[in-house]
Amino acid sequence: MYKVNENYLKLPGSYLFSTIAKKVAAFAEANPDKKIIRLGIGDVTQPLTPPIIAALHSAVDEMASAETFRGYAPDLGYAFLRETIAREDFAARGCEIYADEIFVSDGAKSDSGNIQELFDGSCRIAVCDPVYPVYVDSNVMAGRTGTYDAATGYWSDVIYMPCTEANGFVAELPKERPDIIYLCFPNNPTGAAIRRDELQRWVDYANENGCVIIYDAAYEAYISEENVPHSVYECEGARSCAIEIRSFSKNAGFTGVRLGYTVVPKDLKCGNASLHDMWARRHGTKYNGAPYIMQKAGEACYTEEGRKSIRGLVEFYMKNARTIYDGLKDMGYTVYGGVNSPYIWLKTPDGMTSWEFFDYLLERANVVGTPGSGFGPNGEGFFRLTAFGSYENSLAALERIRSL
């Protein structure tokens, strides 16, 4: 008899957002008359913008003619997109990142789940607590974690870095030395941002201690404050210790069409092993490239019109974020996030657990959010609302919460 990868069997329950979707579906089935407002998963609701749609249409037309038809995309991405990204996302911010260090993919979620393949099974990971579940779960699947303690919610052999009200949800440097450090800023789920000098400390720590930082910058477009870095490569020395993951989902609304990229600088070496070459090898073997039409849509995000339209989307969602943040504060809630992030992180009222508040909101207000404890033990007593709904629904959700 064959054997399965038993690491999968260690994973408790289902993926957080699948659990929530099942609970909401059951509630909707039992209460067909209720209009549910979904501010749970960070999925966008606004349509793709006209410049993106125009680029898609034109690329689809190219596929209809033998002269312009494209088959397999280059597995690392088309040069037109990688060069544009290098110029617009990095050179324009003074970061030294080259087109051939950019790997175009089908999104940040796959990259953040797959990147751990580059590292030995004995490597110890450090994650923020609370944390985007993909970082931990993908390492569990790979056997890089020990056992799960249901009583504490922690895995053995994982270094957890608490993100609390006391530290402004920005973790302190770990006391034990990890090999791989996952950081996400602006943060999912807390909405916290990191200052440039704080991030520089992480980069210095990684270089001094032989660690690699996996920097998830999927929410970079939401940064509104000056001293918040858009890329880890704004820090000196990051080329030799950091991988950065980016997404077109949250800025341009590509959640349903999929496009992202990962930067692996050529200076990132472990002895003689080049992580860049290893990731290239992986891409070549396991991936046939993001679709041409999506890469053309990605390129359109950087034209003047494209940029303007995307800024419009971000402003739209940030108006929701401000509305939810101010509204909750006005009702007496303790609220965080929402300034450099589309996520609002609130303290549950009256000592309710995160899941109690989830049920309470769903049943009494028909509003869906995400329980903070689903992201880790330090998320207990917190709750995440997203600004990715419509303005009307953001207002309506607030009114329903106010009337509880």
Distance CA 359, CA 404 (A): 13
Return phi, psi of residue 225, to 5°.
-100, 145
CB of 137 to ligand MLT, least distance (A): 12
Site for ligand MLT in 338-377 (CB under 6 A): none
Q: Which stretch binds ligand MLT (CB under 6 A): 35-43, 70-78, 238-246, 292-300?
A: 35-43
User: Among 37-45, 64-72, 224-232, 322-330, which window interacts with ligand MLT (CB under 6 A)?
Assistant: 37-45
Measured from the CB atom, is 41 or 228 closer to ligand MLT? 41
Binding pattern to ligand MLT, positions 284-303, x when CB under 6 A? --------------------
Least CB distance to ligand MLT at residue 188 (A): 5
**Binding status of residue 44 toward ligand MLT by CB under 6 A:** no
- CB of 193 within 8 A of CB of 341? yes
Q: Is 6 exposed, middle or buried (0-12, 13-18, 19+ CB in 10 A)?
A: exposed
Cis peptide bond N-terminal to 130, omega within 30: yes
Residue type, position 232, single letter: V
How far apart, in whole angstroms, are the C-alpha atoms of residue 245 and residue 301? 17
Write the CB contacts of 388 (distance below 8 Å, at least 6 apart in sequence).
39, 42, 43, 44, 45, 317, 320, 342
Task: Output the smallest distance, CB 326 to ligand MLT, in A.
Answer: 22
- Minimum CB separation from ligand MLT for residue 41, in Å? 4
Is 160 within 8 Å of 154 (Cβ atoms)?
yes
Q: Which is nearer to ligand MLT, 51 or 260 (CB)?
A: 260
Of 20, 41, 115, 142, which one interacts with ligand MLT (CB under 6 A)?
Answer: 41
* Residue 42 sits in the site that holds ligand MLT (CB under 6 A): yes
Residue 385, CA distances (Å) to 114, 149, 189, 354 in order = 27, 27, 9, 12
Count of residues interacting with ligand MLT (CB under 6 A): 6
The sign of the CA dihedral 212, 221, 304, 63 is positive
Nearer to ligand MLT, 43 or 305 (CB): 43
Among 109, 239, 246, 296, binds ligand MLT (CB under 6 A): 109
**Residue 323 Cα distances to 262, 337, 385, 393, 399, angstroms:** 33, 12, 12, 11, 11
Q: Looking at 99-258, list the stretches that DSSP marks H as alpha helix, in order from N- to C-terminal side.
A: 108-114, 133-141, 196-209, 249-252
Residue 109 C-beta: closest distance to ligand MLT, Å: 4
The CA-CA-CA angle for residues 326, 329, 334, to 5°, reads: 135
105 binds ligand MLT (CB under 6 A): no
Burial of 241 (0-12, 13-18, 19+ CB in 10 A): buried
The CB-of-132 to ligand MLT minimum distance in angstroms stands at 6
Stretch that binds ligand MLT, among 19-27, 36-44, 205-213, 311-319 (CB under 6 A): 36-44
Site residues (CB under 6 A) for ligand MLT, limited to 127-186: 132
* Closer residue to ligand MLT, CB minimum distance, 41 or 268: 41
Q: How far is the CB of 252 from ligand MLT (least distance, A)?
A: 14
* CA–CA dist 60, 172 (Å, integer): 48
Least distance in angstroms from the C-beta of 59 to ligand MLT: 25
Torsion of Cα atoms, 161 then 388 then 295 then 83, to 10°: -60
Residue 385: burial class (beta carbons within 10 Å; 0-12, 13-18, 19+): buried
Q: Check residue 389 for interaction with ligand MLT (CB under 6 A).
A: no
Note whether 188 binds ligand MLT by CB under 6 A: yes
Q: Which stretch binds ligand MLT (CB under 6 A): 40-48, 161-169, 283-291, 360-368?
A: 40-48
Q: Residue 40 or 306: which CB sits closer to ligand MLT?
A: 40
Q: Which is nearer to ligand MLT, 49 or 188 (CB)?
A: 188
Binding site for ligand MLT (CB under 6 A): 41-43, 109, 132, 188
